[in-house]
Amino acid sequence: MAARLCGVWRDVKLCQRFPDEFYWRPSSTGAPWKMLYLRLPRWPYYTIKVDLLSDEADIGIPDGFYRKRFVYVNKLPVAPLYLVLFHKLLGWHKCVRSAKSSDNEKARDIDQYDVIDICELNRQYGPFPLSKSHVGRSYLERFRDLADEFCAELGTNYVVKRFKKMGLDV
């Protein structure tokens, strides 16, 4: 039982340690969804946007992901750190593959550092529970593909080590 709850407990611990670091707001006036943000603890004025409320198939919550993995802090659903990382990798992937130079710059100047920061948070708070029974097969395969592409693109040993520590063979 303790092993099964390990990942959820780590996320609860992270949320309890930094309860004011998660916040949400409407993405635009009159929008039917809200954006979830996470302030990074090491950089108090730096935030990561986590868009988990989208219905778009390619950036929404993966079908294989078990929604019971969300943790509620002050009635706000907070995604596990590995789902946040998955979405940041998806955003990075879309920007890197875009024909727009502004998207390429965003991938290079913002998204890649967000991914590295989330990997660092994982290093501090324990391994990701990356098993098929925990997150679903298709989700896990897509996660591995994105992480592999990210590591190949950056080519730094530091990033490769972080993903390997999570159990991803990159």
Domain count for the chain: 1
Predicted pLDDT of residue 55 = 45
In a domain, residue 51? The reply is no
**For residues 168 and 98, is the Cβ–Cβ distance under 8 A?**
no
The CB density around residue 72, as the number of other CB atoms within 10 Å, is: 10
User: Would you say residue 120 lies in a domain?
Assistant: yes
Domain that holds residue 161: 2-20+56-165
pLDDT in the model for residue 149:
93
What averages of pLDDT result for each successive group of 10 residues across the chain (170 residues)? 37 55 59 59 59 49 65 67 82 89 86 85 69 71 90 86 80
Q: Is residue 27 part of a domain?
A: no
Question: In angstroms, what CA-CA distances link 146 with 29, 44, 136?
Answer: 33, 28, 16
Q: Answer yes or no: is 39 within a domain.
A: no
Residue 12 lies in a domain: yes
> Residue 3's pLDDT is what?
31
What region does 155 belong to: left with phi over 0, alpha with psi -120 to 50, or beta? left
| Half-sphere exposure at residue 44, Cβ-oriented, CA atoms within 13 angstroms | 1
Q: Residue 38 domain-assigned?
A: no
In the numeric block, which tokens belong to residue 165? Answer: 């520590």
